[in-house]
Amino acid sequence: MGRYYQKEIETMPVEEIRKLQSVKLVKQVKHVYENVPYYRGLMDKKGVRPEDVHGIEDLRKLPFLSKSDLRETYPYGMLAVPISDCVRIHSTSGTTGKRVIAYYTQHDVDLWEECCARAIVAAGGTRDDVLQVAYGYGLFTGGAGLHGGSHKVGCLTLPMSSGNTERQIQFMMDLKSTIICCTPSYAAYIGESLKEQGYKPEDNSLKAGIFGAEPWTEEMRRDIEKSLGIKAYDIYGLTETSGPGVAFECEEQNGMHINEDHFIAEIIDPDTGEVLPEGSKGELVFTSLDKQAFPLLRYRTRDICVLSREKCSCGRTFVRMAKPMGRSDDMLIIRGVNVFPSQVETVLLAEGYAPNYRIEIDRVNNTDTFDVFVELLPEQLADTPEGVIQREKALAAAVTTMVGIRPAVHLVPPKTIARSEGKAVRVTDKRKLHD
Contact 373, 357 (CB under 8 A): yes
Q: Which is nearer to ligand DLL, 31 or 323 (CB)?
A: 323
Q: How far is the CB of 215 from ligand DLL (least distance, A)?
A: 4
Q: Which is nearer to ligand DLL, 213 or 312 (CB)?
A: 213
Cα–Cα distances in angstroms (integers) from residue 414 to residues 166, 210, 356, 357, 374, in the given order: 19, 27, 9, 11, 9
Q: Which is nearer to ligand DLL, 22 or 241 (CB)?
A: 241
Q: Which residue is nearest to ligand DLL (CB)?
A: 212
Q: What are the backbone angles phi and psi of residue 89, rounded to the nearest 5°?
A: -125, 160
What is the spatial distance between Cα 249 and Cα 231, in angstroms, rounded to a whole number? 11
Beta strand pairing status for 408-412 and 367-375? parallel
What is the spatial distance between Cα 285 and Cα 264, in angstroms, rounded to a whole number? 8
Q: How far is the CB of 71 from ligand DLL (least distance, A)?
A: 14
Q: How far is the CB of 100 from ligand DLL (least distance, A)?
A: 8
Q: How far is the CB of 210 from ligand DLL (least distance, A)?
A: 8
Q: How far is the CB of 233 from ligand DLL (least distance, A)?
A: 10
Q: Which is nearer to ligand DLL, 141 or 356 (CB)?
A: 141
What is the spatial distance between Cα 329 and Cα 416, in angstroms, rounded to a whole number? 27
Identity of the residue numbered 115: C
Contact 265, 282 (CB under 8 A): no
Q: How far is the CB of 118 from ligand DLL (least distance, A)?
A: 13
DSSP letter, residue 171: H
111: helix, strand or coil? helix
Q: Which is nearer to ligand DLL, 250 or 409 (CB)?
A: 250
Q: How far is the CB of 49 from ligand DLL (least distance, A)?
A: 31
What is the spatial distance between Cα 397 and Cα 386, in angstroms, rounded to a whole number? 17
**Cβ neighbours, 10 Å, residue 254:** 15
Q: Which is nearer to ligand DLL, 298 or 323 (CB)?
A: 323
- Chain contacts with ligand DLL (rule: CB under 6 A): 92, 135, 141-142, 212-215, 234-239, 243-244, 301, 303, 323-324, 327
Q: Which is nearer to ligand DLL, 323 or 426 (CB)?
A: 323
Q: Which is nearer to ligand DLL, 228 or 395 (CB)?
A: 228
Please name which of 284, 184, 275 lies closest in space to residue 235, comparing C-alpha atoms: 184
Q: Read out DSSP for 27-58? A: HHHHHHHHH-HHHHHHHHHHT--GGG--SGGG
Q: How far is the CB of 54 from ligand DLL (least distance, A)?
A: 30
